[in-house]
């Protein structure tokens, strides 16, 4: 079975939160109008550069590439520590794992937290439900000690699942969210914020190097420049709250094929593919010459050598994605495209998942509310 992951949050029930949406001028547009954007980026460029050399404060943690569909890493929870394999996800804020209270078939296939064996475990009565693009879970909030390698977060809020749906074949035991507290559905402090507050990381930054084979890592508290080429290009977030930036356009053969008037892009390590509005994705599939079959769009594998790159322009910088990256191969050896339609209707927003992030080293600077991108080494 081919597995792809879309962990962008879709809905919340149990505690219903209504957030009024209104169109506001983005930070980028405001700064550009005042000719302040370039000055702002230059003024703050030194901070990460100073700690981006070998021997820096960056603490690296290994990740494993599962068939180019997702990246997982090990964490431990409890005292003594119990080990879990989780997805490190920039598209959500919650940390949760399977529990002994869960009777869903998905839970029986995963490592489950044994709460009675942890001396530091502290439960609560708060329940919550999270719906992702690829599944959903219902659970309750608890507290315990969580370790990511040598990093230790004490009294860390995390979820224990009571039910899981859609994760039956998922090669992970839970999800570790790395987005802002603003989108937390439990009200708990996300683990990176807890590490920052407890002084475990020296800088409020983390970064991802997602390789094709071995060597993938997530790093906390700094940046190691050995993982990228050239300089980091800094992009301010459209608003502090999630890892979303303004994108100028998407083009192919010097023609704009999507995002013609500018749009938003969410950089999401928890999503395998590139997700966009239905009408625009259908147009891209047509331009590529892809044929729909079941839930995928297939092309001849020979097309990989002749199809042009698709270019994502962000903050004036072109980020080409060649056909070798956006054409994937299934278990039968057939080739399909990495573009998927977003079924949720909204303003034009694209989710740039692992297909994009394998090509570009990404830095998430919570201190300055910006993302850094550079060509991966």
Domain boundary among 162, 181, 207: 207
**Is 93 within 8 Å of 190 (Cβ atoms)?**
yes
Same domain, 198 and 159: yes
Residue with tokens 């992030």: 357
Query: In this predicted model, what pLDDT tens digit does every residue of 66-97 receive, in sequence order?
Result: 989 999 999 999 999 999 999 999 999 999 99
Q: Is the four-CA dihedral 355, 265, 297, 324 of positive or negative sign? A: negative
Beta-carbon contacts of 345 under 8 Å, excluding residues fewer than 6 positions away, are none
* Cα–Cα distance measured from residue 321 to residue 355, given in angstroms and rounded to the nearest whole number: 8
Query: Can you say whether residue 295 is alpha, beta or left, with left for phi > 0 and alpha for psi between -120 and 50 degrees?
Result: alpha
Q: What pLDDT score does 364 carry?
A: 98
Tell me whether residue 42 is in a domain: no
- Residue 89 catalytic? yes
The answer to the question of residue 7 being in a domain is no
CA atoms of 71 and 41, how far apart (whole Å): 30
**Are β-strands 228-236 and 244-247 bridged in parallel, bridged antiparallel, or unpaired?**
unpaired
User: Which of the four pLDDT bands, split at 50, 70 and 90, describes residue 365?
Assistant: very high
- Any idea which of 1-10, 253-262, 314-323, 354-363 has the lowest mean pLDDT? 1-10
d(CA 258, CA 282): 11
Mean pLDDT across 117-143: 95
More confident: 214 or 56: 214
Going by pLDDT thresholds of 50, 70 and 90, the confidence category of residue 28 is very low
Reduce the DSSP state of residue 49 to 3 states and report it: helix
Same-domain pairing of 294 and 145? no
- Residue 50 domain-assigned? no
Cα of first residue to Cα of last residue in the chain, in angstroms, is 31
Domain membership of residue 298 (yes or no) is yes
Do 352 and 284 share a domain, yes or no?
A: yes
Is the same domain home to 230 and 302?
yes
- Residues of the chain with pLDDT > 90, as a percent, come to 79
Q: How far apart are the C-alpha atoms of 121 and 305, rounded to whole Å?
A: 54
pLDDT of residue 208: 98
Looking at 207, 240, 263, the residue that finishes a domain is: 207
Least confident of 45-54, 60-69, 259-268: 45-54
Band of pLDDT at residue 216, cut at 50, 70 and 90: very high
**3-state SS, one letter per residue, for 139-192:** EEEEEEEEEECCEEEEEEEEEEEEEEECCCCCCCCEEEECCCHHHCCCCCCCHH
Q: Which of 207, 237, 260 is the last residue of a domain?
A: 207
Of the residues 193, 268, 354, 365, which is catalytic?
Answer: 268
* 47 part of a folded domain: no
Residue 101 has pLDDT above 80, yes or no: yes
In a domain, 180, yes or no: yes
> Tokens representing 90?
């920039």
How much is the average pLDDT of 216-225? 96
Inter-residue contact 94 to 177 (CB < 8 Å): yes
| Number of Cβ within a 10 Å radius of residue 286 | 11
Query: Is the pLDDT confidence value at 268 over 60?
Result: yes
pLDDT confidence of residue 214: 81
Q: CATH no. for residue 300? A: 2.40.70.10
Query: CB under 8 Å to 96, separation ≥6 — which residues?
Result: 130, 137, 139, 158, 159, 160, 161, 174, 175
Is residue 242 annotated as a catalytic residue, yes or no? no
> Any idea how long the chain is?
377
CA dist 314 and 371 (Å) reads 11
Kindly name the residue from 89, 224, 354, 365 that is annotated as catalytic. 89
Q: Is residue 2 one of the residues assigned to a domain?
A: no
Residues contacting 295, CB < 8 A, separation 6+? none
Residues 369 and 234 in one domain: yes
DSSP 73-103: EEEEETTTTEEEEEEEETT---EEE-BTT--
Q: Is the domain of 355 the same as that of 239?
A: yes
Residues 6+ away with beta carbon under 8 Å from 195: 151, 153, 201, 220
Q: How many structural domains compose the chain?
A: 2
In a shared domain, residues 230 and 347: yes
Q: Is residue 239 predicted with pLDDT exceeding 60?
A: yes
Residues 163 and 264 grouped into a single domain: no
Whether residues 182 and 237 fall in one domain: no
How far is C-alpha 310 from the geometric centre of its chain's CA atoms? Answer: 21
Q: Do 337 and 269 share a structural domain? A: yes
Q: For residues 369 and 125, what is the distance between their CA atoms, to the nearest angstrom?
A: 33
SS3 of residue 335 by DSSP = strand
Q: How many Å apart are CA 359 and CA 376, to the nearest integer? A: 6
Query: Which pLDDT tens digit goes with each residue over 298-348?
Result: 999 999 999 999 999 999 999 999 999 999 999 899 999 999 998 776 789
pLDDT band at residue 8 under the 50/70/90 scheme: low
Q: Give the structural domain span for 322.
A: 224-376
How high is the pLDDT of residue 345?
Answer: 67
* 377 Cβ contact list (under 8 Å, min separation 6): 209, 226, 227, 228, 229, 361
How many other CB atoms sit within 10 Å of the CB of residue 21? 7
Domain co-membership, 68 together with 23: yes
Is 81 in the same domain as 124?
yes
Distance in angstroms (rounded) separating the CA atoms of residues 63 and 166 = 23
Range with the poorest average pLDDT among 11-15, 86-90, 141-145, 280-284: 11-15
């Amino acid at each position: 079975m081919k597995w792809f992951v879309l962990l962008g949050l879709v809905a919340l029930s149990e505690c219903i939160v209504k957030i009024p949406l209104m169109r506001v001028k983005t930070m980028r547009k405001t700064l550009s109008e005042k000719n302040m954007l370039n000055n702002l980026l230059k003024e703050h460029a030194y901070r990460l550069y100073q700690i981006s050399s070998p021997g820096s404060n960056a603490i690296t943690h290994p990740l494993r590439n599962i068939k180019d569909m997702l990246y997982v890493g090990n964490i431990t929870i409890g005292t003594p520590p119990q080990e879990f394999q989780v997805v490190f996800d920039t598209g959500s804020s919650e940390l949760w794992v399977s529990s002994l209270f869960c009777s869903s078939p998905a839970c029986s296939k995963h490592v489950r937290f044994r709460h009675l064996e942890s001396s530091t475990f502290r439960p609560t009565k708060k329940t919550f439900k999270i719906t992702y693009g690829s599944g959903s879970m219902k659970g309750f909030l608890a507290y315990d000690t969580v370790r990511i390698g040598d990093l230790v977060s004490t009294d860390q809020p995390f979820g224990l699942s009571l039910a899981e749906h859609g994760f039956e074949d998922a090669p992970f035991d839970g999800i570790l969210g790395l987005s802002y507290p603003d989108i937390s559905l439990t009200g708990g402090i996300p683990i990176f914020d807890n590490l920052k507050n407890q002084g475990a990381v020296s800088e409020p930054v983390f970064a991802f190097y997602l390789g094709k084979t071995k060597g993938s890592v997530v790093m906390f508290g700094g940046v190691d420049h050995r993982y990228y080429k050239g300089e980091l290009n800094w992009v301010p977030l459209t608003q502090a709250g999630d890892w979303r930036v303004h994108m100028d356009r998407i083009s192919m053969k010097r023609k704009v094929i999507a995002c013609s008037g500018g749009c938003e892009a969410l950089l999401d390590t928890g999503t395998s593919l590139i997700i966009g509005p239905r009408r625009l994705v259908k147009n891209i599939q047509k331009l590529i010459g892809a044929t729909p079959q079941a839930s995928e769009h297939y092309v001849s594998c020979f097309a990989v050598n002749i199809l042009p790159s698709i270019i994502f322009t962000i903050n004036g910088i072109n980020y080409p994605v060649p056909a070798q990256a956006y054409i994937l191969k299934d278990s039968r050896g057939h080739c399909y495209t990495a573009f998927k339609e977003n079924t949720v209707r909204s303003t034009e927003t694209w989710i740039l998942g692992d297909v994009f992030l394998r090509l570009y080293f990404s830095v998430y600077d919570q201190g300055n509310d910006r993302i850094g991108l550079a060509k991966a080494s």
